[in-house]
Structure 1
Amino acid sequence: MKTFVKWVRRVIITGMVFVMVIYGVSYMMAAPQLGQGHYIKLYDQSEKLFYQSNQQSNDIALKDVSKDFLASIVAIEDHRFYSHRGFDPIGILRAVKANVLEGGKSEGASTITQQYARLMFLTNEKTWSRKITEAFLTTRLEAHYDKDTILQGYINTVYFGHGIYGIKNASRYYFNKDPKNLDLNEATMLAGVVNGPEYFSPFKNMTRAKERQKLVLDQLVNEKYITQDKANQIYKTPFQLNKDPSSALTLSYPYYKDAVIKELEELGFYKESYINQGLNVQTTLNPTVQDKLNQTVDNQMKDKEELEISSMIVDSHDAGVLALVGGKDYATSQFNRATSAKRQIGSTMKPLLYYIALENGFTPTTKFKSEPTTFQLDSGKTYAPTNFNKKYANSDITLAQAIAVSDNIYAVKTHMFLGEQALVNALSKFGFTHVSPHPSLALGTLNTNIYSLANIYTTFANEGTYNDVHTITKITNDHGDILYERKNKDEQLLNKETCLILNQLLTAPFNKAFNTYTSATMSAYPTKTTFAVKTGSTSYDSLCAGFNPNYTILSWVGYDDNREMTMATDSKIPKVIFQTMANELQKDESWYKPTEKLQQIPINPISGEYQENGVVYWFKNN
């Protein structure tokens, strides 16, 4: 016991010395700059600002905020805020007791000043260097600013969920009110949300929101701000929430912003050492294209309660993302399905398979029989894929027709003919690793998202030249120093002539001449100018991906919980989006030109024989 007491005493003395040192240094250091540095600014391709991180904004004064909210946020987050100097010794001891002496129960002890210091850095890295930096910033804030200034910065900075930062945005989002007009019921709810914005939001779970509010009310009773009778009355009062919260969102293009932040992380710049310098990020965003995509998605997803969507438009030349949607409503779900979903891509896999086939001697007229087929595998098992709606030609069909109608039997026969490893090897060129060879891979049993899939399609669109799909072109700091500047890879990853043959073949889904035993997949969705396209579907997903020399367009719809899509109209949404955006973006004809290594031959679309007035496809010169 004596040893334990000595150990505790040493820890306390060491802690006191440490605190004295950092406070002394903090007083000697300059005051931290509020509202300068520690930001991220995102600019579109015309160098116009479309997003600035809300951190450290002091855009509303305490006098313009409800006293009930100020009392509530202090009571629940740091009720000794006005008496401590940045760290709460009582709170720390309570947390130690809970975490160490009571069986590992997790309890925090962060003060409002500590939270504000953390928020100023935008990140939550759990490293000792961040904790030490946060401690110094906490003491510097306390050394150079009064409590009201710190509280003002905190309430303007803290996150309230649904992409909302700051009390002004939160009060408008949740209640369609200015902060000064919040009543006690609203104020206590908002103060409670801060602890777990997504968990305690009344838009997501009213029961949890009221339970959290009760803790705030109880704390106000303890602080003698209100009586217990008043607390009981408020707890029983329902919230009058904003009926149209999305109208209060001020964040422009939130899913695109999140895609940029994700790329910042991947490039290594979403760190305190860079954010503290201020980051100015030049992106490939085209607001006109983004606005049109938003409008198109909104029109198609109207009244779709649980169906979700992702969609993006990419510059075919350099793979820069012009527009991106990661869900139908950012206020409801911030999960970015365009960049982070893991879904099967269905028949949008087939163009890569057919590229390999064309590289290995196939032509637009190469034939396989479309009929119910059971494949005998080397393992002794069998595989029996089916065509959509179990419709078959029951005769030989050409590669052109197989692409037009998305014939599964033709695809699997091609896959087995080439060898299952061939498609796996081709996928590895685009960063898809740990893919197992299997007959079903030809039908798109790969789990990925449209952002990753776009790397394949933009390479086709760029005649075999590969560039990473990206949103960031340049990063500078607050002093104008260039931290990063993108250089295109321009890697000739695929054969140019083979891509050109494939691209011409991928116009077949629009051609009504292929409407025989089943319909060409895009024959009901023609575009005004020439595009290549491929649809894809599973029981749970529907996709459409296509391109021309200028634009690559990809869309997906499905349910987050992987339930089956039973409405035929839902599965058509990606096709409608493709058609709408293709017609909006491309006003004049723009299509590929065959090189001298290729010849143009008109063929009968069904028989594949030469036909003077037939459909023109491209063939390699012998």
Structure 2
Amino acid sequence: MEAEIKLKKKWRNIRLLSYIALLMIGLIFILFISFVIYLKILGPPPLAIPQSTLYYTADETVFGESHNGERRYWVDIQEISPAAIQATLSIEDQTFYQHHGFDFKRIGGAILANIQAGQKTQGASTITQQYARNLFLTMDKTWRRKISEAIYAARLEFHYDKEQILEGYLNTINFGHGAYGIESASQFYYGKSAKDLTLAEASLLMGIPKGPSIYSPLKSEEKAKKRQKLILDAMQENGYIQAEEEKGALAEEITLVGKHPHHRADMAPYFYDMVQKELKTTVGLDERVIALGGLQVYTTLDAEQQKIAEEVVEKVIPDSSDIQVGFAAMDPQTGFVTAMVGGRNYDESPFNRASQAIRQPGSTIKPFLYYAALEHGFTPATQLRSEKTTFEFDHGNSEYTPHNFNNKYADDEITMAQALALSDNIYAVKTHLFLGEEVLANTVKNFGIQSEMKPVPSLALGTSGLRVTELLNGYSMFANGGKKVEPTFIKRVEDRNGKVLYKAKPNQEQVLNPQLAFIMSHMMMGTFDHRLNGYASVTGASLIGKMSRDYAGKSGSTNTDYWMAGFTPGLASVVWTGYDQGDEITLTADKLYAKNIWLQFMEQSIDQQSEEQHVFKPPSGVEAVPMDPENGLWATDMCPTFRLTYFLKGTAPGDFCTEHLLGL
């Protein structure tokens, strides 16, 4: 009886323990399910790792970057050398593809080893755990952070596959010297992409994250090589390589570069600043996203043209001179700015004289005036008298007496074509006052010039200031046949995943009359045509012998500013030179810098392009006639010279020149 009671008691205890065990299993299952549901509700963890924003030239070569001291260039796992991946798995987490974020066997072994040693001698963090740690903003060693890190690791495993986790890990680890991620490290240590790493390079590189200040080969070659051997041994043990491959890798001589490939504005620093500004104003990004968002910013910068511009400026203006420069070049067909120099030394003065400085343009304003005149019935043959003149305005209460250069005048009538080529100021002011002072002030707005233009008699001579980029914009519209353009610095912007955030859309709206735009362009070619010489030489006379092709252009000057602007259908550029403080330019040599910089840039840049891009082609609706430049009449064989001149059909001179007939 007593035995039976003991047996019943025993089975009761067994049932109780079974119930408790089942309850515990149920609780664990419920906790597990709850944890899974919790991970599901939390969703994928954010992978907001600061990445360097890279800036590309037009041919997609990197010319600059922005970062917070951590250079990181994210690459897909397919763009990483298999040797680097195998080295990582062998030394960091051999069971990476078998566990779910935590290697409990390894954790137990590490705990036992640490207890036996009486200190922490081994770590057991998996690649997933290390990646989770890299994603945290702080590295404090608190239990709260460790628990959060564990949950983060679980979320990574729950929402991302192994390849994504491994890719993230390789792109976030610290390799020292400001290099974060394998691509940045590969570029820094070896000057090559991560996809091109050899076994020797990869095994040496993957030993660094254990302690960048210890195992960097630039810090200690001996310690780096020892860790490399440890990694190669592990790779052989895991079957990734053979003994002969390990021996070859250890014997391979590795060349270290120790230099980051990209620096902030390696070239074109003024252009770089403009891109930064456009990212904020045009694209609409904030500063943190711009600096650390891992953006790919594809700009309009032509590396070859930029190099030419910088070299020409340095060559033309002597080091001893305090003259400053503002320069910009543009593709007239698209508005893409291809080169920019905002000053002679960015480190000394980041002020951009091409986009920020407002200076008086002088006679470079005249093409806009004469375009307005063409719209109001003038033609290249329209004559006005060039002589010293005092103009009365404001109902006779005010006077204005402009002067030609060196006080030279024709004291006779001259054509508009010759007036532009010789830069006759009297003709310009007469035209301006005939049209009405508001006409020019309003006309320049159609050319993209936003700077305020005061409607006064002297406006015809460029007394209201504007920017280099504004004048460039206006001249580009002559070059492209009158289509609206605006200075564009960014072609497109992509985020870290390649998604296009912004793409430039050139505006092809027809703003000007295409026939009049061409006629004006052809008149501007007269600046470099000695056949238009008259009481003075054409203003581009000093450049004619140095030109290899046709250009349209105009120079301009004041006491403190010297300009040269011009174009072909495929390239436009503008140069301003002067003193920042507005001091008068007195030396003759200083007055020639703008012209020489402009021509040398144009000649060298166009040599790199197709000749077809730079041919002036007349549109339909215009006709060319041989015009006597002195009187604007149809030239005959008796005329000593003539210039083929374009007119709107039906507006060409109707009379033949009779001044040079025999016997007269």
Specify which of 516, 522, 525 is matched with residue 498 of structure 1: 516
- The equivalent of 1:609 in structure 2 is 633
Post-superposition offset of 1:270: 4.2
Distance 1:143 1:154, change over 3 A: farther
Whether 1:263 aligns to 2:278 is yes
Cα separation, 2, equivalents of 1:505 and 1:479: 51
- The equivalent of 2:551 in structure 1 is 531
Post-superposition offset of 1:456: 0.5
- The equivalent of 2:624 in structure 1 is 600
Greater mean alpha carbon deviation, residues 47-56 or residues 347-356:
47-56
Cα separation, 1, equivalents of 2:503 and 2:442: 31
Distance 1:597 1:32, change over 3 A: closer
**Partner SS, residue 493 of structure 2:** strand
Structure 2: gaps spanning 5 or more residues: 1-43, 73-135, 146-173, 180-212, 214-262, 651-664
**Partner SS, residue 354 of structure 2:** helix
Specify which of 414, 427, 430 is matched with residue 397 of structure 1: 414
**Partner SS, residue 412 of structure 1:** helix
Specify which of 578, 600, 615 is matched with residue 591 of structure 1: 615
Count of residues paired in the alignment: 421
Specify which of 44, 50, 59 is matched with residue 46 of structure 1: 59
Listed one character per residue, the Cα deviations across residues 144-188 of structure 1 (whole Å, up to 9, x for unaligned) are 899xxxxx999979xxxxxxxxxxxxxxxxxxxxxx9xxxxxxxx
Distance 1:353 1:45, change over 3 A: same
Post-superposition offset of 1:141: 4.1
**Partner SS, residue 466 of structure 1:** coil
Distance 1:434 1:313, change over 3 A: closer
Relative to the length of structure 1, the TM-score reads 0.63
Please say if residues 454 and 464 of structure 2, whose CA atoms lie closer than 8 Å, have aligned partners that are also in contact: no
Cα separation, 1, equivalents of 2:288 and 2:504: 20
Cα separation, 2, equivalents of 1:343 and 1:272: 30
Please say if residues 283 and 502 of structure 2, whose CA atoms lie closer than 8 Å, have aligned partners that are also in contact: no
Post-superposition offset of 1:259: 1.8
Post-superposition offset of 1:264: 1.7
Post-superposition offset of 1:499: 0.4
**Partner SS, residue 600 of structure 1:** strand
**Partner SS, residue 443 of structure 2:** helix
Post-superposition offset of 1:594: 2.1
Post-superposition offset of 1:369: 0.8
Please say if residues 552 and 566 of structure 2, whose CA atoms lie closer than 8 Å, have aligned partners that are also in contact: yes
Relative to the length of structure 2, the TM-score reads 0.60
Distance 1:504 1:372, change over 3 A: same
Whether 1:303 aligns to 2:319 is yes
Distance 1:431 1:555, change over 3 A: closer
Post-superposition offset of 1:377: 0.7
- The equivalent of 2:269 in structure 1 is 254
Cα separation, 2, equivalents of 1:249 and 1:478: 19
Cα separation, 1, equivalents of 2:141 and 2:383: 79
Specify which of 44, 59, 69 is matched with residue 56 of structure 1: 69
Alignment of 1:170-569 (within 5 A): 251-272=266-287, 274-275=289-290, 276-379=292-395, 380-429=397-446, 430-432=448-450, 434-526=452-544, 527-569=547-589
Post-superposition offset of 1:58: 6.2
Please say if residues 313 and 552 of structure 1, whose CA atoms lie closer than 8 Å, have aligned partners that are also in contact: yes
Matching residue's letter, 2:365: M
**Partner SS, residue 541 of structure 2:** coil
**Partner SS, residue 618 of structure 2:** coil
Cα separation, 1, equivalents of 2:176 and 2:465: 41
- The equivalent of 2:646 in structure 1 is 618
**Partner SS, residue 555 of structure 2:** strand
Please say if residues 387 and 407 of structure 1, whose CA atoms lie closer than 8 Å, have aligned partners that are also in contact: yes
Greater mean alpha carbon deviation, residues 540-549 or residues 584-593:
584-593
Please say if residues 524 and 552 of structure 2, whose CA atoms lie closer than 8 Å, have aligned partners that are also in contact: yes
Cα separation, 2, equivalents of 1:531 and 1:547: 6
Greater mean alpha carbon deviation, residues 330-339 or residues 348-357:
330-339
**Partner SS, residue 543 of structure 2:** coil
- The equivalent of 1:108 in structure 2 is none
Cα separation, 2, equivalents of 1:575 and 1:335: 23
Listed one character per residue, the Cα deviations across residues 431-471 of structure 1 (whole Å, up to 9, x for unaligned) are 52643211111111121211121111111110001111111
Larger Rg: 2
Matching residue's letter, 1:366: T
Distance 1:49 1:249, change over 3 A: closer
Distance 1:268 1:473, change over 3 A: closer
Alignment of 1:56-75 (within 5 A): 56-57=69-70
Please say if residues 515 and 620 of structure 2, whose CA atoms lie closer than 8 Å, have aligned partners that are also in contact: no
Alignment of 1:80-95 (within 5 A): none
Please say if residues 555 and 574 of structure 1, whose CA atoms lie closer than 8 Å, have aligned partners that are also in contact: yes
Specify which of 584, 594, 598 is matched with residue 574 of structure 1: 594
Please say if residues 603 and 615 of structure 1, whose CA atoms lie closer than 8 Å, have aligned partners that are also in contact: yes
Cα separation, 1, equivalents of 2:175 and 2:349: 27
Post-superposition offset of 1:549: 0.7
Distance 1:304 1:617, change over 3 A: farther
Please say if residues 467 and 489 of structure 1, whose CA atoms lie closer than 8 Å, have aligned partners that are also in contact: yes
Please say if residues 58 and 153 of structure 1, whose CA atoms lie closer than 8 Å, have aligned partners that are also in contact: no
Listed one character per residue, the Cα deviations across residues 275-301 of structure 1 (whole Å, up to 9, x for unaligned) are 353321111111111111111111012
Matching residue's letter, 2:411: N
Matching residue's letter, 2:407: K
Please say if residues 295 and 495 of structure 2, whose CA atoms lie closer than 8 Å, have aligned partners that are also in contact: yes
Matching residue's letter, 2:516: T
Post-superposition offset of 1:143: 4.4
Please say if residues 329 and 472 of structure 2, whose CA atoms lie closer than 8 Å, have aligned partners that are also in contact: no
**Partner SS, residue 339 of structure 1:** coil
Cα separation, 1, equivalents of 2:589 and 2:287: 47
Cα separation, 1, equivalents of 2:526 and 2:327: 23
Listed one character per residue, the Cα deviations across residues 339-384 of structure 1 (whole Å, up to 9, x for unaligned) are 1111111111110100000111111111111111111112521111
**Coordinate RMSD, CA, aligned:** 2.9
Distance 1:250 1:385, change over 3 A: closer
Distance 1:433 1:307, change over 3 A: closer
Cα separation, 1, equivalents of 2:578 and 2:618: 38
Listed one character per residue, the Cα deviations across residues 526-549 of structure 1 (whole Å, up to 9, x for unaligned) are 221111000010100000000111
Cα separation, 1, equivalents of 2:139 and 2:399: 72
Post-superposition offset of 1:412: 0.5
Query: Percent sequence identity over matched residues?
Result: 35
Post-superposition offset of 1:593: 2.2
Distance 1:144 1:548, change over 3 A: farther
Cα separation, 1, equivalents of 2:344 and 2:453: 30
Structure 1: gaps spanning 5 or more residues: 1-28, 60-138, 147-151, 158-179, 181-247
Please say if residues 451 and 466 of structure 2, whose CA atoms lie closer than 8 Å, have aligned partners that are also in contact: no
Please say if residues 32 and 141 of structure 1, whose CA atoms lie closer than 8 Å, have aligned partners that are also in contact: no
